[in-house]
Amino acid sequence: MNAFIRMYFSLGLLSVSSIGLVPTVVAHPMDTETRMIASDGEVGDNFGRSVRISGNVAIVGANDSESFIENIDDDYGSAYLIDLTTGVELMNLTPSDREPLDRFSFSVDISGNTAIVGSRRGDIDSSGSSDPGAAYLFDITSGMETILTPSDGAPGDDFGMNVAIDGHTAIVGSYRNDANGHNTGAAYLYDALTGLEIQRLEPDDGFFGDEFGRSVTLDGNIALVGAINDDDHGSGSGSAYLFDVSTGQQIRKLTASNGAAGDLFGVSSAISGNIAIIGSRHGDGTMTNSGVAYLFDITTGSEIAILKASDGMANDEFGYSVGISGNTAVVGARKNDGDGVLDYGAVYLFDVSTGFEIARLSASDGEGIGGGPPGIYHFGDEVLIVGSTVVVGTHHANFSGGHSGAVYFYDISPDSGDFEFDSDKDGRDFLRWQQGFGINHDLDDLAEWEANYGSVPGPITTVPEPASSLLLLMGLYTWSIQCKRGAVADSGSAPQSRRIRS
């Protein structure tokens, strides 16, 4: 477990200031769930609509939070800075030119001491009528604000729909920008130190209606921008583009190998090292329109794996949100009908090297969460992973009233060989390790499992003990190869290549 999350968990019994947050530790089958809600949360705030972490500081957006005047329904929006080692709120960020319906904090990101906040309905000119969108940089130590403006902004651009920052560079998506045709879209790079616009990014083959800029990601010198309505594989199939940040030049275009009309590929994206993950919320995964996510090698542009939910159903919107860290990818399916609850939502973990599904996360709170109405919970509307910590934004949670919002934290590091995260060390865990599932599992993890095999009461399968299991598996493998060879010889056909299951 990460040190800052471990410490944060331990503070669940401590009180925090009235302007802070109320960390609540709740039971979960994986025993690692921690829920965070705003201490001043109210109906409709949408706390958790966006969330990011840098070091031990989290920034959480509540894009429909109200003004400081009680009972005024104005949807100004605000962003919370939280110290994860103490659970205490450091600062509540609001723009200096705030106006009703700005939806400030619809998107957020943080890097070092600088936070960026998008306000997709913000009024840069404070006219109250044009709603081009806005984005803001904040020094998280002083609260100093810098307003970012596009060189060619116009009403209805949704500038600030998505934002990202890495080091001294920030990017802002404006997916309804009309500079090159209706809703062609654009993305803008900024110097995070000065607030000056560096580059205006646009694709080589941009066309009206593409909505380039729906998702934006920064990683070092690489920018990744989604265009959900690009038409390479049919109307609205979607695409994503890689850019060189230093030059603003397009590197390559990414599309799904099995893309089809209406998939909306590019609705979400994330990068870790040389691997990118891109969501396709209406892709045909397990079922029609269940949703898909794709892994790409950004150095070659090649598609590595197609990720699907093992229990995906139509219209789950698997891929609406994605995250990646090292060898683990996380995908949100915000409309999954978990436990029979409409649009409850679920989050899935995948091993990047194999494409195998590792685990499925769902909130432990149950139907009618927080005493509010059941359904439309949207667990997984926002996801990210930092090391072995998965963070899930759930802006329709009801703990402080309907849709007040919450954020969940999960530690997914194996616990003494519990590779299934079910609190049982049994034969199934060994099979998961042997089959290549897991989060960077190695021989040390296997030794932990062997030492703790059967140590926790629970159903023990008939999988043999470690001493004999490897020999048995080797025998079964040899036997299966001989059978396959015999089948090929009998049919007279050439053996088919084996595809990695995804």
What's the maximum distance between 2 C-alpha atoms anywhere in the chain? 80
Looking at residue 97, its pLDDT comes to 78
Looking at residue 232, its pLDDT comes to 96
Distance CA 380, CA 360 (A): 11
464, part of any domain: no
- Per the rule left: phi > 0, alpha: psi between -120 and 50, beta: everything else, 181 is left
Distance CA 129, CA 100 (A): 11
Looking at residue 122, its pLDDT comes to 54
Cα 373 vs. chain centroid, distance in angstroms?
Answer: 25
493, part of any domain: no
Distance CA 389, CA 385 (A): 6
Distance CA 338, CA 311 (A): 10
405, part of any domain: no
178, part of any domain: yes
Looking at residue 223, its pLDDT comes to 98
Q: Which two tokens stand for residue 122?
A: 């913000």
Task: Please identify which residue in the block is written with the tokens 């302007």.
Answer: 19
Cα 453 vs. chain centroid, distance in angstroms?
Answer: 33
486, part of any domain: no
Domain of residue 312, residue span:
45-369
Give CB contacts under 8 A, 24+ apart, made by 429-432.
430/463, 430/466, 430/469, 431/463
Distance CA 141, CA 435 (A): 47
On the 0-12 / 13-18 / 19+ scale of CB atoms within 10 A, 178 is: middle
172, part of any domain: yes
51, part of any domain: yes
Which one, of 135, 117, 297, lies nearest residue 222 by Cα? Answer: 297
Which 3 state secondary structure label does DSSP give 276? strand
Give the number of domains in the chain.
1
Domain harbouring 175, CATH code: 2.130.10.130
Distance CA 499, CA 382 (A): 31
Looking at residue 415, its pLDDT comes to 66
- Other beta carbons within 10 angstroms of residue 263's beta carbon come to 27
Distance CA 312, CA 333 (A): 9
Contacts of 147 (CB under 8 A, 6+ apart): 95, 96, 97, 124, 134, 135, 136, 137, 195
191, part of any domain: yes
Phi, psi values for residue 400, rounded to 5°: -115, 30
- Other beta carbons within 10 angstroms of residue 188's beta carbon come to 26
Which one, of 358, 355, 310, lies nearest residue 336 by Cα? Answer: 310
Per-residue pLDDT of the chain in tens (502 residues, 90 and over written 9): 444 433 333 333 222 222 334 433 333 345 678 899 998 888 888 899 999 999 999 999 987 765 444 444 556 788 999 999 888 999 999 988 767 656 688 999 999 999 999 986 555 544 444 567 889 999 999 999 999 988 888 888 899 999 999 999 999 999 999 988 999 999 999 999 999 999 999 999 999 999 999 999 999 999 999 999 999 999 999 999 999 999 999 999 999 999 999 999 999 999 999 999 999 999 999 899 999 999 999 999 999 999 999 999 999 999 999 999 999 999 999 999 876 778 889 999 999 999 999 888 888 775 545 545 555 788 999 999 998 899 999 988 888 878 889 999 998 876 667 766 666 778 877 776 776 544 556 677 778 778 877 764 433 333 334 444 444 444 444 444 444 444 434 444 333 322 222 3
